[in-house]
Amino acid sequence: MMSYKDCTEKSQHPKKVLRDKGSKSCFEIDNPSRREFTITRVDGCMIQGHVEKCDYMVGVHEEEEKGVLHLVELKGKKLDKAISQLESTLQRVPEEFERYRKLCYAITTVIPKGGPRAMKKKVEFERKNSAILKYSTMRYKVTI
């Protein structure tokens, strides 16, 4: 495992798009006020080896030891796999983000099936991990 700092870049870009090589899905950051935020490459950098992990973490600092941490998994079709990768990463979040609000995004190339099963999974995830889970197809855009 490399250090969090070695895998993180700071940015104030007004627009940033995160995607994986060969992936059609993306996570867009809209930053009209040019706030500073961090982007951490989790998979293959911060967390290596045969451990489930998500692709990116985006940290937005708000005040004394608080802020929002966005965990992003860009996935093909396997929503369940994306959810377990997000859960696994939540258990390995650096200490400095402990008090941050955590938002998790599973962005897939196919439309996740809705209905009661998906809703139950979302509620279960949020209760178990103290983090919010959002699904999206192809792209998700946040404004910070």
CA dist., res. 54 & res. 75, Å (int): 9
Cβ(121)–Cβ(106) below 8 Å: no
Q: What pLDDT is stored for residue 114 in this prediction?
A: 67
Residue type, 59: G
pLDDT of residue 113: 66
Q: What is the pLDDT of residue 5?
A: 86
Count of helix runs (H) and strand runs (E) in the chain: 2, 9
Q: What is the pLDDT along the chain (144 residues), one digit of tens a residue?
A: 567 889 999 999 999 999 987 778 899 999 999 999 999 999 989 998 899 999 999 999 887 778 999 999 998 888 889 999 999 999 998 888 888 999 999 998 887 666 677 788 889 999 999 999 998 888 999 999
Q: What is the pTM of this model?
A: 0.91
pLDDT at 44: 87
Rounded Cα gap, residues 123 and 18, in angstroms? 27
